[in-house]
Amino acid sequence: MTKYYVLFGPPGAGKGTQATAMVEKYNLHHISTGALLRKEIASGSPLGMKAKELIENGCLVPDEVVEGMIESEFRTVKGVDGFLLDGFPRTLAQAEALDRLLAKTGESVTATVSIMIPDEMIMERIKGRALKEGRADDASEDIINNRISTYHKQTEPLIEYYRNAGKYHEVDGTGNIDEVREGVFSVMKLF
C-alpha cells in the first residue's frame, strides 16, 4: 500500500534537510509545495507571479493552488513506495482536502512526522539559510516574523488535528542534523 507521510514543523525546522534522507531510505517521492511554488515563480508563470507576492510577504498562497499541485503529483508520479509531503498541509482546510482526496481511493495519511523547534531558533536557522540559499522570503526579519505568526495561526492547529487522528509523532528538532535524522527514522520505522 502506498505510504503518505506528512513532514510537519515550523519554518526553518529542517524539514527539507531531513526530507532528503527520508526519501532515499524509504523510496518516497518528495513533494515540497514551497519548492514547487518557487519553480513556478522562476518560470514566470501567472500562478508564479501571484504566489510571489504572497510568499514574499510571509503569507500563504490559496489552498486550492497547493491542493491542485499535490493532486497532480499523486497522479503523475509512479514507481515509488510512497510520498513525503513537505510543507503541505499547512491549514486545516488543506488537511481536510488531503483526507478527502486520499479517501477517494480508500487511502489515508500514514503518519505525521513533526520536527519541532522553539521560535527563537526559527529566526536563527532561517538567517543562516539565507546566507546559503538566498531565498527572497528569508531576506528580512519582518518577513520571517510574519511567517512565524502565520505558522502559529494557520498551521499549528494541525497538531491537534493529527493528534486526534492518532497520527501525530513529534521529534526534537533542536539537535544537529544527524541527531534529528535519528529521531525521524525512529518514527518512520514504526510504519
Give one DSSP letter per residue of 13-67, joined into a string. Answer: SSHHHHHHHHHHHHTEEEEEHHHHHHHHHHHT-HHHHHHHHHHTTTPPPPHHHHH
The footprint of ligand ADP on residues 18-77 (CB under 6 A) is 33-34, 37, 54-55, 59-61, 66
Q: Which is nearer to ligand ADP, 83 or 88 (CB)?
A: 88
Annotated catalytic residue: which of 3, 52, 125, 147? 147
Q: Is 92 in the site for ligand ADP (CB under 6 A)?
A: no
Cell of 56: 514574499
Candidates 11-19, 39-47, 97-105, 168-176; binding stretch for ligand ADP (CB under 6 A): 11-19
Q: Is 90 in the site for ligand ADP (CB under 6 A)?
A: yes
Altogether, the residues listed in the chain come to a count of 191
> One symbol per residue from 109 to 128: x for binding ligand ADP (CB under 6 A), - otherwise; what is it?
--------------------
Give 114's contacts (C-beta < 8 A, 6+ positions apart).
Answer: 8, 9, 159, 168, 169, 170, 171
Q: Which is nearer to ligand ADP, 79 or 134 (CB)?
A: 134
Q: Which is nearer to ligand ADP, 41 or 189 (CB)?
A: 41
Q: H-helix or E-strand containing 114?
A: strand 111-116
Is residue 100 annotated as part of the catalytic site, yes or no? Answer: no
Our CA angle for 34, 132, 43, nearest 5°, is 40
Q: Which is nearer to ligand ADP, 58 or 183 (CB)?
A: 58
Helices 33-43 + 46-55 axis angle, to 10: 120
Site of interaction with ligand ADP (CB under 6 A): 11-12, 15, 33-34, 37, 54-55, 59-61, 66, 87-88, 90, 94, 137, 147
